[in-house]
Structure 1
Amino acid sequence: MRFIKRHLWVIIFSVTIIAGIWEIRTMMRKEKTSLPSAKKSEFVPAEFPNKMLLTVHLDLKGAPPNFLYLKTLLPKMAAAGCDSLLIEYEDMFPYKGKLTNLSATNHYSPAQIREMIGWAHDLGMQVIPLVQSFGHLESALKLKEWAHLRELYEYPSEICPSHPDSFSLVTEMISQVMRFHRNSPYLHIGCDEVFHLNLCPKCRERALSSRALFEDHVIRLAKWLKERYPEVQPIIWDDMMRKWPAEDIINTRLAAHVVPMVWDYTSDVKYVQRVWWLYAKAFPKIWVAGAFKGAGEPRSDFPHIERRLANQRSWLELIHTSKTSHKVSGLALTGWSRFDHFAVLCELLPVAIPSLLLNLLYVKAHLGGEAPQKQRMIYREWQDSLGCPGRIIPENMNTIEGRDDLMDCIWPGVDLYKSLVAYRELKNEVKKTEHIISERQGYLTRYNAMHNFTNPKRVVEIVIERGVQSTLRQLEKLKEDIYRQLVWYTDDFTAKEWVEDRVLPLTSSLMSLNALTDALLARRDWPRRPLETNIPLYG
């Protein structure tokens, strides 16, 4: 009973915060189905600052890239216009000392981190670390040793800003990361999606509003950073400010301490226009963030290239039409690997390379104020960067023909892309078989299975017609191919996770169907109707 009351109390006090943030998450992280017309004329940016950074976000909390693969990829990114990396290490960073358990068991080594930063610097790229410091601290708060720092004990995502040990944990994490990034001009400290705020007894005792509590924590951290790293500018995600009244945004104390990174991954960023003007008035500088992958569904296999391009187009148009380009320090192309620490993998980096290169080339061209007729030049450069023998256009990439065109190219990841296209086709076959059996046929249902009662001829017809054995063999072959490819692009752990989450449910479904078929076909005589049942549903 006490547990139930506790949850009711949580719901009552957190519903406003969660509802507000979830509305943002739903509207902005999930892609819209409607797209701008492919025939829409391109805008011509009058002036964009050449010093605006064009940043690629590497989300290492899922499918961390193999270092040999990363080394082949970075030059392609640099050639397409990337001049900085935003690296979200999470548990792939090699923490040590009292933070050792923060690291995943397959974390990068210190030597690998230094080597990666060196590669980037050699290509003229700045490297910006991202360390979560408020929300999305699941990798730490899930563990017993830091569970006492949760805002609400039931939910291991947000740290309590009022607990004296919270600040020590966050600053120690940052200190260890910054030892590798002493020359970085920025540090991203996260602070997005703090779903539970001002709910624990310690926070409520302070008698502050949720806004004031949020500001206090962020400002305290920013001041600490300023004392130890005077040249480093902290960046935060903007979404926690969006529901504030206009006056509170304009007069926020955060403006003197941090730079907001305004994220919107939709095809039309008009949803952020209200806060965009307020941010431009309140903050000396702003960052923006679109996405090249990881902005669809939590289990998407491929980025929708047309929507990803429309996202950057919309961002550039907003910056241009609002005449706020002088305010924008950089544009980040985010590439999420998981929606959070506990989520399964979404779109993998190797299959998202076409989206990444296209968006880099597009933004690079328009930051220079290119004319509309240059679009064909961008597409041609994109085609060349992917090693494509023929013409490809973004509007076709979500069609069968467009995928076939991409599979003719030789970009680093195309073999995995081909395998995932085959996986999707086999998945559709399995789902169609399951639908036919459960919804359309009357011989392999749960009732038939429970009573071992069916027409053997019809069972054989269904299994043969649906090609169950052939599909199962193809899945087994595909499982081996995808595992081998993923080990090259990422690591053994990622390969096993992806196969277990995506392929094994399909093979298990067909194997269960095989077992059921064998049992039904083994019978040679059947009872008279009505069939006996032990289910107590009939009086």
Structure 2
Amino acid sequence: MCLKQKCPEKRFFSYMTSKNSEMSGSSPFKMRLVHLDLKGAPPKVCYLSEIFPLFRALGANGVLIEYEDMFPYEGHLRLLRAKHAYSPSEIKEILHLATLNELEVIPLVQTFGHMEVYYLGEGETSRQWLQQEPNSKAELCLSHMEAVASHVRARYPTTTPLMWDDMLRDIPEDQLSGSRVPQLVEPVLWDYGADLDLHGKALLVEKYRKSGFSWLWAASAFKGATGVNQSLTPIEHHLRNHLQWLQVAGSVPADTLRGIILTGWQRYDHFSVLCELLPVGIPSLAVCLQVLLHGDFAENVKARVENFLGISSLEEMSFRSEGAGSFPGSNILALVTQVSLHLCSSVDALLERDRYVTGWFSPYHRRRKLIHPVMIEHIQPQALSLLARWSALAGELEAALQRVFYPDTVEEWLEENVHPSLRRLQALLQDLGEAARPRQDSGQDS
């Protein structure tokens, strides 16, 4: 559930009359929120100070912050804090940075959706309740939503809860309209795919409107939605996702959709690996925000994106060398791209396809430490050169990551994506060294 504080009229008016007037006039989505998923690879505040101005320049006017365990909880909730959780002063600094860049902050607080909702109705108390007519899982779900939203509205009257619409989609219209939920929350219709069911989305919007929801939101994705261990962001996928959301917005009554949330998931859940790091997803975010502003991705829009990012071309090749781009974190993108595209493949080429390794130092030979001395000269220099090259790049990447992320993030990303390949090279060289040593005669003199 997201908690959206209502803006004072004067604050909203400042968006409409800012010097970047195109940001509010040409887009069907008046609010464009960039989602920061902090349950994985949370950036340091110094990095946020660099990218918030970029968010604003690209067309965002809000950030949806999923604090998770990075929030400095106190009291009995203190145990939820991550090791490197933001301090209270850092939270204030983040909010201050958002204000300076005219970005409205909406906190995303996991309540119902991520608390075992798939098992709704399986508890003993719930089962007993469901056995009574006319109770149903839909009614159970709505009653809980109503209780949570009512509590929030009672405690914070100027706050409007937003709610991801997963659990609302299959609830019949009459049940929705018969509850108080439409008067308490604003649904967020999310779809991160490249091929949206446009007609189905229009029907869903119509259903929600008839059920009594006054305002709706859309949720797209600029990263973190195409693979649980994805390391590079497929810009084309996310471009298509946003172009189709624009089609949805054009097919429903004007002003039905209050805004759009550009999600940037960092993990699929708390137990999964990291997907694309935030700096890696910045070019995709730039494309998506500019498309939402201008309505298409014509050549002039593409040129604007390239100008914002300080790159010569959005093609993938432009990210393969160090220093490609001038946006904050562009060096991380360049280094991650090299690792993702070439590290494993170069090690595989040596260990699995090199004729000297596969022919004269196979797993059979390596286990028995057997090798012809001449073959060491063919294998060892290649392995040493490859290890030196990738070790140097890994050190460079580690330093770049440390400037943006906390130590646990740096350790996790390198352990998942770099160290396994380096260890394979080190193991090969160790086996070569052992095979090259003179063998001691284990026999005894007669």
TM-score normalised according to structure 2 size = 0.83
**SS of match in other structure, 1:312:** helix
The aligned residue for residue 402 of structure 2 is 487
Kindly indicate whether the alpha-carbon contact (under 8 Å) linking 1:285 and 1:327 is maintained by their aligned counterparts in 2: yes
Q: Could you say which residue in structure 2 is the equivalent of 1:110?
A: 88
**Would you say how many aligned residue pairs link Structure 1 and Structure 2?**
408
Q: Which stretch shows the higher mean deviation, 338-347 or 205-214?
A: 205-214
Deviations 1:484-528 (A, max 9, x none): 1111112222112211222111112222222333344447699xx
Query: Cα distance, 1:51 vs. partner?
Result: 6.8
Encode CA deviations 1:158-188: one digit per residue, 9 max, x unaligned. 2xxxxxxxxxxxxxxxxxxxxxxxxxxxxxx
What does the per-residue CA deviation read over 1:11-70, in whole Å, with 9 as the maximum and x for residues that have no partner? Answer: xxxxxxxxxxxxxxxxxxxxxxxxxxxxxxxxxxxx977672011001111111111121
Of residues 240, 262, 287, the one that matches 2:217 is 287
* Cα contact 2:290–2:305 (8 A) shared by 1: yes
Matched, 1:89 2:6: no
The equivalent of 2:139 in structure 1 is: 212
Contact 1:54 1:330 in 2 (8 A): yes
Mapped to 2, the partners of 1:250 and 1:241 lie a distance apart of 11
Q: d(CA) in 2 for partners of 1:237 and 1:58?
A: 16
1:431 aligns with 2:361: no
**Identity fraction in percent:** 32
2:234 to 301, 304, 319: 304
Distance 1:251 1:266 in 2: 32
RMSD value over aligned CA atoms?
2.9
* 8 Å contact from structure 1 (residues 437, 445) kept in 2: no
Secondary structure, in 3 states, of the residue corresponding to 2:118? coil
User: CA separation of 1:252/1:262 partners in 2, compared to 1, >3 Å: closer, same or farther?
Assistant: farther
Shift of 1:255: 2.2
Tell me the equivalent position of 2:58.
80
Question: Could you give the per-residue CA deviations for residues 311-341 of structure 1, whole angstroms, max 9, x where no partner exists?
Answer: 1001111221x22342101101111111111
Contact 1:443–1:458 (CA under 8 A) maintained in structure 2: no
Q: Partner residue of 2:126?
A: 203
State the Cα distance separating 1:460 from its structure 2 match. Answer: 3.2
Q: For the residues of structure 1 that align with 2:440 and 2:93, how far apart are their CA atoms?
A: 71
| Partners of 1:202 and 1:509 in 2: CA distance | 54
Normalising by structure 1, what TM-score?
0.69
Q: 1:417 is matched with which residue? A: 333
* Paired letter, 2:182: A
Alignment-mate amino acid for residue 348 of structure 2: K
Find the aligned partners of 1:117 and 1:444 in 2 and give their Cα distance.
59
| Equivalent residue, structure 2, for 1:264 | 191
SS in 1 for 2:266: coil
AA matched with 1:430 = V
**Corresponding position: 1:130 with 2:108:** yes
Structure 1 residues 475 and 453: alpha-carbon distance in aligned structure 2, compared to 1, 3 A threshold: closer
Residues of 2 paired with 1:421 and 1:48: CA distance? 34
> In 2, distance between residues paired with 1:280 and 1:110?
40
Aligned counterparts, 1:424-463, within 5 A: 424=340, 425-436=342-353, 441=358, 443-450=360-367, 452=368, 454-456=370-372, 460=376, 463=379
Structure 1: stretches of 5+ with no match in the other structure: 1-46, 138-157, 159-193, 367-371, 527-539
8 A contact 2:28–2:249 mirrored in 1: no
Once residues 309 and 405 of structure 1 are traced to their aligned partners in structure 2, the CA distance between those partners, rounded to angstroms, is 24
**AA of the residue aligned to 2:344:** K
Structure 1, residues 53-93: CA drift from partner, whole Å, max 9, x if none?
01100111111111112111111111111111100000000
CA distance in 2, matches of 1:275, 1:442: 61
The one-character-per-residue Cα deviations of 1:75-128 (angstroms, maximum 9, x if unpaired) are 111111111110000000000001000111210011111111122122222110
Residue 216 of structure 1: how far off its partner (Å): 1.5
- Asked whether the 8 Å contact 1:459–1:517 carries over to 2, the reply is no
Q: CA deviation at 1:442?
A: 5.3
Q: How far does residue 447 in structure 1 lie from its aligned partner after superposition?
A: 4.0
Aligned residue among 237, 242, 252 for 2:164: 237
Alignment partner of 2:302 out of 359, 373, 379: 379
Which consecutive residues of structure 2, in runs of 5 or more, have no partner in the other structure?
Answer: 1-24, 442-446
CA deviations on 1:364-395 (whole Å, 9 max, x unpaired) are: 223xxxxx6x822222221211123x3x24xx
Give the partner amino acid of 1:204: R
What code does the residue aligned with 1:422 have?
Q
Contact 1:249 1:278 (C-alpha < 8 Å) held by counterparts: no
Aligned-pair CA distance for 1:242: 3.4
The question of whether the paired residues in 1 share the 8 Å contact of 2:32 and 2:61 is answered with yes
Is the 8 Å Cα contact of residues 293 and 334 (structure 1) preserved in structure 2? Answer: yes
In structure 2, distance between residues paired with 1:248 and 1:444 = 69
For the Cα contact (< 8 Å) 2:31–2:260, is it kept in 1?
yes
Q: Does 1:475 align with 2:402?
A: no
> What SS is found at the alignment partner of 2:69?
helix
CA contact (8 A) 1:426 1:471 kept: no
